[in-house]
Structure 1
Amino acid sequence: MSELDLPRDLFSRAAFETDAAAAGPVKAGRKALRLANEQLNEAFRSGHLAGELIHWRAEMTDQLLSALWQRFTPDRPGLALIAVGGYGRGELHPHSDIDLLILQSDRESGGPEGVEQFITLLWDLGLSIGHSVRTLEECVRRAAGDVTILTNLLEARLLAGDAGLLAQLRERTSTHHMWPAREFLQAKLAEQEARHNKFADTEYNLEPNVKSSPGGLRDLQLIGWLARRHFGWSTAEEFTSSGFLTKEESSILLRGQEFMWRVRYALHMLTGREEDRLLFDHQRELARMWGFTDGERLAVEQFMQVYYRWALALAQLNELLIQNFDQAILRTDAEDEVTILNDSFEIRNGYIAARSPDLFRSRPGALLEVFLQAGNNPHIQGISAPTIRLIREHRHLIDEDFRADPSNRGLFLQLFCAQHRMTRQLRRMARYGILGMYLPEFGRVVGQMQHDLFHAYTVDAHTLQVIENMRRFLREDSDERFPVTSRVARRLPKKELLYIAGLYHDIGKGRGGDHSELGAVDAERFCLDHGLSRRDTNLVTWLVRNHLVMSAFSQRKDISDPDVIQDFARHVTSQNRLDYLLVLTVADINGTNPTLWNAWRASLLRQLYAETRRALRRGLENPVDKQDWINETRQAAIDILEYRGFTVEELDALWRERGEDYFLRERAEDIAWHTEAIAGHHDRRQPLVLVRNSLESNVANTTQIFIYARNDNRSFPRVCAELEQLELSVHDARVYNANDGMSLDTFFVLDSDGTPLEDQGERQEHIAEHLTHALSDEARGAAIVQRRTPRQVRSFSLPTETLMTTDTNKGVTVLEVRSPDRPGLLARIGEVFVRFNVVLQAAKIQTLGERVEDVFFITDSAHRPLEDRELCEAIQAAIRRELDGQKTA
């Protein structure tokens, strides 16, 4: 099959007419479409350019539609069949919509004869048609009021009918009559900004949209629309001859467009529908099609790094060309506003510009200075397009000698002290390739994805987002969402040390081994090379090495235990380290995945920070005595309850059967709440369920559910199943088995989307009623939720991991479970506990994106740690079977 033969063979008008005469136009059309599709898909697999195939598909469709049009609406004046949108450009992917405009000179009663039958036939053929029937006046009126409609008409192309109508439409929608070039540019840029914001303004989402994400095909289409509207250009050659693009940039644009076209074609072909999202399961298939294989890095990660680098390159060209359009369209008649900064740079129309084309060749250090100037001058809104081009052309000058130059090192270090939009300067440096050239260790992680459900962005995009979060904490508008972190961030003595730690905290990923340790080595070398003191170097290195520790302590340890607080305080050793680590931790969590930060996670970190601060203030040599802690809590609860009419003797009787853990871990206010309710609950055969929102500092904006019921190890799976039916997510569970056969259980919950429960009345009553029924004697317990496992989870075949250890100090066995999240997970684990007669003492529930890392503190029925190794292995195996068997449910 040759390139020249293929388009001619795709559609034969004579063969179609013969088949239509014998079997009717529907069967003939379906046959023609099937044969053409088979040929095109085979050509794609054989390596034909996707650009050729989508144009050939459009040509074949042109011919088929023209033939069908003639059967129903023979040519007559005042009626035309017009291709618009992407189809109007002559581009048609396997399952793209075929956008048609049936244009008529004036409105006929009942519509043009034969058009309804024509459209019906197209649907019968299985084509995805987007069509409108409008008069010339209607088109003009709609285009004048909606830039999207005008854009759809920009590439209108006649398929059949009255060519004069299309000519009139083009004239009446030209810049002479509506949407002058200036207004059109501003409207389209606003559309692009809104679209980019929808995708978090990054090319690096882990499931990008090849059409709409930054750096995708829509960015290229925008360039085409602007060029066509203002200049009448439609080819890359016209961009080059005009000086808007160099030959190298034109080549990048064309090759990048072909790559994106090929990805989109493959997605349509694989899925059998119009699918533009590079979902996880599609990524693996495309990696195989591109010839990548698993090695030191997964094939899918290698393919996606290629994708991200093309997206970054196209985003750069989009930025450069839009600035050129801005200059040519918005400022065409305006005199340049120029402010001289120094011998090297000037501000021209708000953009910093090199004053000489030889600047970077004669003084390579200016490759860093340009960003420092932009970061220190609030009047600079960006870097001029010619200077961006010069930066790209001269970035190869950043070599070992450049990096070793003390003046260059000083310039780079000053960037972290820039007063204005510092993070934006780092993003520009990354986008133009400067950051990766100056820091080769950063260059290695550019576009590097982490093929999991936890991280929403690539390593480099995440790193810059973390630094941006740090800067955001310094602004007053962060006080409401991050009250503690913002206050702590503002009082850090050297904020540049925090930014350097953020830059290096994940830089060791993708190399194998512990990325925290690898990153710490790189960070130490950077600090010493750049002249930081040994004290500052040690702080940055410690932060990088320990950037996960605070999160792990807060979410996996019992931070109500003073021994745990003391251990963490000994690890941190100083208030200065604690402050820096808190800000880094909160910035990291919020930069990893936007869904991870919620009220519960915030409250845990706030509690750990506050208690550790107290421990450091007391001194590491003066740990809190547990009995003193218990006595203080008991006395505080007594003080509250005495005001409510209780005597000390009554309270001693009520609390006689409670273990010390209850008073060690619960707050005095909650103990008083529990005690008062229990004292008035006289029928122990029926469970007592209390629900209230917790507004105290350490559990802010979560909902507490307290259950007082007869001790029954079936309660935990029942409660978990019922809570999931109620669309609540459990974040912490505490279980106290009293000596009188009763159990006191507390669950901290949020809505299933991680937000606090807003309705404090009816919703709480509803929860209490359902849980009371689920735990009653007549109830069988709530059924485990059978909802379909989320698509993202099904895309990963990650096995459940379990680990069991013994905490001799607390007298419990610690079971850790790591698994993709799925409906009914906690209830299923609880059922395994019932099966093996395991008693749950407490649980720390942590959901990270679509993955859970849960910790359960368990004992045998005699409340002793599990000592039997075979029993421990059997429990873990049962949990793995129970969870992994549900992956594809």
Structure 2
Amino acid sequence: MSLLPAISQDALLDALQESAQPGQYARQFLAQGQERLNQAFETTDITELVQARAGMVDQVMIAAWSLFGLANRDDVALVAVGGYGRGELHPCSDVDLLVLLSNAPEQALRDSLERFVAFLWDMGLEIGHAVRTLDECVDLARDDITVATNIMEARTLAGNDILREQLEDRTGPEHMWDSAAFFAAKWQEQTTRHKRFNDTEYNLEPDLKNAPGGLRDVQMIAWVAKRHFNTDSLEALVSNGFLTPEEYGVLRKCLDYLWEVRWQLHVQTERNENRLLFDHQRQLADRLGHENSSANLAVEHFMKDFYRVALALSVLNEMLLQLFDEVILRSDTQEQVRPLNRRFQVRNDYLEISNPDVFEQHPSALLEAFVLMAQNPDLKGIRASTVRALIYHRRQINDAFRNDPTNTNLFMQLLRSPHALFSQLRRMKRYGILGKYLPEFGNIIGMMQYDLFHIYTVDAHTLLVIKNMRRLRYEDLREEFPLASEVFYRLPKPELLYASGLYHDIAKGRGGDHSELGADDAIAFCQRHGLTAWDGKLVAWLVRNHLTMSVTAQRKDISDPDVVYDFARKVGDLVHLDYLYVLTVADINATNPTLWNSWRASLLRQLYTETKRALRRGLNNPVEKQDWIDETRDAALRLLTDRDHDGPEIETLWANIGDEYFLRETPRDIAWHTEALLDREDPEDPLVLIRESSQSVLAGGSQIFIYTPDTRNLFSATVNAIDSLGLTIMDARIITSVDGFSLDTYIVLDEQGTPIGEDWARIEQIRKTLTETLKYPDRYASTVSRRMPRRNKHFDVPTQVVISNDIVNDRTAVDIQTLDRPGLLAHIGRIFMRFEILVQNARIATLGERAEDVFFITDLDGEPVSDPTLCQELQQTLKQELDAKNNGNT
């Protein structure tokens, strides 16, 4: 099958001239040709497809130029620029054109050009066009590097080619933007562009054209090569000594891969889309032939391939730009070389091997290079020629290399280095050394998890965990992480913390429990690297339990002394608690920036503090609940009597509240509530109190306290009103007094994940809305108008419901995991209401697109829900209704 429609240039022009609707004919011609190209995708080299698409558009352009009487003029030329100028077009790429004039056009020419451009739009092409004289182009190119770059890639489609040649000559490096100026400007342009994408190849929804490791980075190399060497081919970099044949092969393979992805992305979206949005990733994985495996989704396999290609291109780009820098910008600079040791020297502040055979003769130097970089923080980097040698010789890393004590000692030196550990591990990963030395780490490079919770690939997340650990050494982090910084300085061996960070997620993607599998890997690592048995057991324990503290803090009631005691027993001693706390803080902050907020920080701090107290008390001497209750009552009573409140009046108020309240609330909050209840003017109205919980022990969120007669739908009405106010509920404590009143505390954050603050107008709005809602809880609006976020709609999160009885606390726990959406808590509350169930407590956690909420419930008599049939019906109803809502994407 011929790739292009079987029609000559003259025949196409005749067809356009004869057609009653030439624009429609041209549109159909392009559509039919594109369909043929799409059908050929599986069997045709992508370069051929991209060039064929450009060739097909060429045919239409040339025919249209003639159609409007422009072909025989010597004072105008139709010039392709940009990607089109290179003869590369994807299905929906912009078609960039320059209408180049010798002089300002007369009216007749203006009219013809306007009809020509209108025709191009009429036939459905995305046109980017400019109409300029030769002099105008020269003036613009002198001031704008983008214009100068476009002109470099220009080719004449129709008209007078001499005009383009004159333009090329007048804008050449002899007249403007010499090699040095051009390279410096393009390098700065790339630096600015990369910053827009956080300087990482691993964005959750990457831009395959503009992000680091994208197509633009390849074009950057080509532009510089063309300007300096006057070559139109990337392959010429081999003959000029900038790329080895093997490196060129990698570059070509990566470029072809990105072209294939972009081609299918355009076909799928039917527009010039270059972002791999969640909307498209699954379908692209199918189009490119990926399939689900036992451990990973097809989309995860696809994105892993993409990220690895982006990383490879990014490294090549980095290496080539450094080589260009030496040849173009620093060719006249006197080199300063000083020896570092027998194997390495420093050239112009860059580390390099002292002779080309160093890695061949001394394989351990493959690790030594990074140890030296860490020991000499003044070095700017590793010289490009040494990077090339590192990448080439990494094939020497095998089991014998990994088990060599010299090499294991070097790696431990790096982990113990006082400087730049994260930077060197990241460098090792980029150059393929870390993945070879630790094959288990190599398996997770580029691995993504298709959710909104984990916004980094596993390898990027892992190294970011270590970076967060290292940052705790700095004084400027003490304010943001005061407790973690203090605890970090008490750790006897920080390298054990770094090893646990390196291995905590290393077994992801294998199937099975990654914590258990990772612990086995960690033990093997510690044994191979000469750590003591105790050290190895600690690292393995940390890897095995790296989720335990965050799960306990976020999903269990840590105001319950039994919960704290159980966690203290699992931790065992203060050393394990300290290491685990720092690992947990670093892990959460490296998973998703939105996860770490003041509320989560306060939960972890509270759990750490209470566990530390329990450990000091002794695990054989747990605190009794009644002692806890009595201490809380006495402390709250002292606060109130100090403020001249009457003791008997307080005791009368407290008599009907019940012990649960004094177990769950702090003395300061009880005093705050009690004072407001004693002083309120209208006992018939609901009482709504709001303040920053930073004023109490529970720092980190805004507290909303509600005192009102208990009704069956009170929880549903309350959470619906809070949701409608744009607040996120982090925690809920629902307590019903003996005399039928509800004393409810909600910890909330605003939409930015921060407390409300001292925004008194906002506080009054919240108070008024809740007061009006709670006066008539039966009348609340049952729907929330906020839309589900775009990203959430593309995830399938089947609802999971686990119901179990908490015998110690005489209540039932309902653990619900489902797709997060506006109004979720209110819907769950309505289901509980239908089943005549009361919510006594709730832990609310939103992890990306997933809501993981735990509700502690009782029946109307305050007893656990023990009927197996009722529990089964509740479980089925929750699953069916929440899944129906999720599938509706409301």
CA RMSD of aligned residues (A): 2.2
Q: Report sequence identity in percent.
A: 52
Residue 51 (structure 2) aligns with: 55
Per-residue CA distance 1:706-755 (angstroms, 9 max, x = gap)? 11111013122222222222211111111111112211111111122423
- Report the Cα offset of residue 148 of structure 1: 3.4
| Alpha carbons 2:484, 2:585 under 8 Å: kept | yes
Given the alignment, which residue of 125, 130, 133 partners 1:132? 130
Question: More displaced, 775-784 or 224-233?
Answer: 775-784
- Report the Cα offset of residue 281 of structure 1: 5.1
Q: For 1:823 and 1:11, how far apart are their aligned partners in 2? A: 59
Give the structure-2-normalised TM-score. Answer: 0.95
Given the alignment, which residue of 294, 297, 304 partners 1:296? 294
- Report the Cα offset of residue 759 of structure 1: 5.5
Residue 27 (structure 1) aligns with: 24
Per-residue CA distance 1:572-613 (angstroms, 9 max, x = gap)? 122221111111111111111222111211111111112222
**3-state DSSP class of the match of 2:172?**
coil
Question: More displaced, 444-453 or 47-56?
Answer: 444-453
- Residue 9 (str. 1) matches residue 44 (str. 2): no
Q: For 1:697 and 1:672, how far apart are their aligned partners in 2? A: 11
Q: For 1:242 and 1:272, how far apart are their aligned partners in 2? A: 40
Per-residue CA distance 1:57-105 (angstroms, 9 max, x = gap)? 1122122122223333625354333322222222111111122233334
Residue 212 (structure 1) aligns with: 210
Q: For 1:410 and 1:702, how far apart are their aligned partners in 2? A: 46
**3-state DSSP class of the match of 2:60?**
helix
Supply the AA of the counterpart residue of 1:387. T
- Report the Cα offset of residue 553 of structure 1: 0.7
Q: For 1:7 and 1:800, how far apart are their aligned partners in 2? A: 50
| Alpha carbons 1:336, 1:349 under 8 Å: kept | yes
Q: For 1:822 and 1:253, how far apart are their aligned partners in 2? A: 43
**3-state DSSP class of the match of 2:6?**
helix
| Alpha carbons 1:707, 1:745 under 8 Å: kept | yes
Residue 435 (structure 1) aligns with: 434
Supply the AA of the counterpart residue of 1:542. W
Supply the AA of the counterpart residue of 2:728. S
- Residue 804 (str. 1) matches residue 803 (str. 2): yes
Q: For 2:7 and 2:194, how far apart are their aligned partners in 1? A: 38
- Report the Cα offset of residue 527 of structure 1: 0.8
Residue 70 (structure 1) aligns with: 66
Per-residue CA distance 1:8-38 (angstroms, 9 max, x = gap)? 6377441343244232321221121112111
Supply the AA of the counterpart residue of 1:134. R
Structure 2 CA distance for partners of 1:349 and 1:693, relative to 1, 3 Å: same
Question: More displaced, 690-699 or 311-320?
Answer: 690-699
**3-state DSSP class of the match of 2:257?**
helix
Residue 145 (structure 2) aligns with: 147
Q: For 1:688 and 1:103, how far apart are their aligned partners in 2? A: 75
Structure 2 CA distance for partners of 1:377 and 1:871, relative to 1, 3 Å: same
Structure 2 CA distance for partners of 1:78 and 1:350, relative to 1, 3 Å: farther
Residue 246 (structure 1) aligns with: 244
Question: More displaced, 826-835 or 133-142?
Answer: 133-142
Residue 41 (structure 1) aligns with: 38
- Report the Cα offset of residue 557 of structure 1: 0.9
Gaps of 5+ in 1: none
Residue 79 (structure 1) aligns with: 76
**3-state DSSP class of the match of 1:236?**
coil
Q: For 2:6 and 2:214, how far apart are their aligned partners in 1? A: 32
- Report the Cα offset of residue 137 of structure 1: 4.3
Q: Which residues of 2 match residues 253-268 of structure 1 at below 5 A?
A: 253-268=251-266
Residue 816 (structure 2) aligns with: 817
Residue 622 (structure 1) aligns with: 621
| Alpha carbons 2:238, 2:244 under 8 Å: kept | yes
**3-state DSSP class of the match of 1:9?**
coil
Structure 2 CA distance for partners of 1:30 and 1:611, relative to 1, 3 Å: same
| Alpha carbons 1:316, 1:431 under 8 Å: kept | yes
Q: For 1:841 and 1:114, how far apart are their aligned partners in 2? A: 77
Q: For 2:279 and 2:791, how far apart are their aligned partners in 1? A: 8
| Alpha carbons 1:344, 1:354 under 8 Å: kept | yes
Q: For 2:281 and 2:349, how far apart are their aligned partners in 1? A: 41
| Alpha carbons 1:16, 1:29 under 8 Å: kept | no
- Report the Cα offset of residue 325 of structure 1: 0.9
Supply the AA of the counterpart residue of 2:309. W
Residue 237 (structure 1) aligns with: 235
- Report the Cα offset of residue 250 of structure 1: 0.7
Q: For 1:138 and 1:622, how far apart are their aligned partners in 2? A: 87
| Alpha carbons 1:684, 1:710 under 8 Å: kept | no
- Report the Cα offset of residue 189 of structure 1: 2.6
Supply the AA of the counterpart residue of 2:866. E
Question: More displaced, 99-108 or 498-507?
Answer: 99-108
Q: Which residues of 2 match residues 683-694 of structure 1 at below 5 A?
A: 683-694=682-693
- Residue 777 (str. 1) matches residue 776 (str. 2): yes
| Alpha carbons 1:16, 1:32 under 8 Å: kept | no
Q: For 1:367 and 1:179, how far apart are their aligned partners in 2? A: 40
| Alpha carbons 1:202, 1:461 under 8 Å: kept | no
Q: Which residues of 2 match residues 553-592 of structure 1 at below 5 A?
A: 553-592=552-591
**3-state DSSP class of the match of 1:210?**
coil
Per-residue CA distance 1:324-367 (angstroms, 9 max, x = gap)? 11111111111222111111111112221111211111111111
**3-state DSSP class of the match of 2:796?**
coil
Question: More displaced, 786-795 or 494-503?
Answer: 786-795
Question: More displaced, 159-168 or 227-236?
Answer: 159-168
Per-residue CA distance 1:437-457 (angstroms, 9 max, x = gap)? 111211222222223332112
**3-state DSSP class of the match of 1:699?**
coil
Structure 2 CA distance for partners of 1:707 and 1:436, relative to 1, 3 Å: same
Supply the AA of the counterpart residue of 1:560. S
- Report the Cα offset of residue 513 of structure 1: 1.6
Supply the AA of the counterpart residue of 1:205. N
Structure 2 CA distance for partners of 1:141 and 1:676, relative to 1, 3 Å: farther
Give the structure-1-normalised TM-score. Answer: 0.95
- Residue 18 (str. 1) matches residue 15 (str. 2): yes
Q: For 2:169 and 2:697, how far apart are their aligned partners in 1? A: 67
Q: For 1:832 and 1:176, how far apart are their aligned partners in 2? A: 77
Supply the AA of the counterpart residue of 1:245. L
Q: For 2:634 and 2:256, how far apart are their aligned partners in 1? A: 74
- Residue 728 (str. 1) matches residue 724 (str. 2): no
Gaps of 5+ in 2: none
Structure 2 CA distance for partners of 1:145 and 1:723, relative to 1, 3 Å: farther
| Alpha carbons 1:636, 1:668 under 8 Å: kept | yes
Per-residue CA distance 1:119-139 (angstroms, 9 max, x = gap)? 222222222122233344444
Residue 181 (structure 1) aligns with: 179
- Residue 224 (str. 1) matches residue 222 (str. 2): yes
Structure 2 CA distance for partners of 1:739 and 1:238, relative to 1, 3 Å: same
Residue 340 (structure 1) aligns with: 339
Q: For 1:249 and 1:103, how far apart are their aligned partners in 2? A: 38
Structure 2 CA distance for partners of 1:599 and 1:383, relative to 1, 3 Å: same
Residue 275 (structure 2) aligns with: 277
Structure 2 CA distance for partners of 1:13 and 1:880, relative to 1, 3 Å: farther
Q: For 2:824 and 2:315, how far apart are their aligned partners in 1? A: 44
Q: For 2:794 and 2:819, how far apart are their aligned partners in 1? A: 10
- Residue 355 (str. 1) matches residue 337 (str. 2): no
**3-state DSSP class of the match of 2:173?**
coil
Structure 2 CA distance for partners of 1:611 and 1:454, relative to 1, 3 Å: same
Q: Which residues of 2 match residues 380-529 of structure 1 at below 5 A?
A: 380-529=379-528
Residue 312 (structure 1) aligns with: 311
Q: For 2:684 and 2:78, how far apart are their aligned partners in 1? A: 78
Structure 2 CA distance for partners of 1:791 and 1:285, relative to 1, 3 Å: same
Per-residue CA distance 1:28-60 (angstroms, 9 max, x = gap)? 21121112111111111x321222112111122
Given the alignment, which residue of 285, 297, 300 partners 1:287? 285
- Report the Cα offset of residue 845 of structure 1: 0.3
Aligned residues: 885
- Residue 157 (str. 1) matches residue 139 (str. 2): no
Q: For 1:300 and 1:428, how far apart are their aligned partners in 2? A: 27
Q: For 1:826 and 1:49, how far apart are their aligned partners in 2? A: 52
Q: For 2:181 and 2:630, how far apart are their aligned partners in 1? A: 73
Q: Which residues of 2 match residues 645-794 of structure 1 at below 5 A?
A: 645-696=644-695, 698-758=697-757, 760-777=759-776, 780-794=779-793
Q: For 1:169 and 1:770, how far apart are their aligned partners in 2? A: 68
Residue 90 (structure 2) aligns with: 93
Structure 2 CA distance for partners of 1:532 and 1:62, relative to 1, 3 Å: same
Question: More displaced, 552-561 or 466-475?
Answer: 466-475
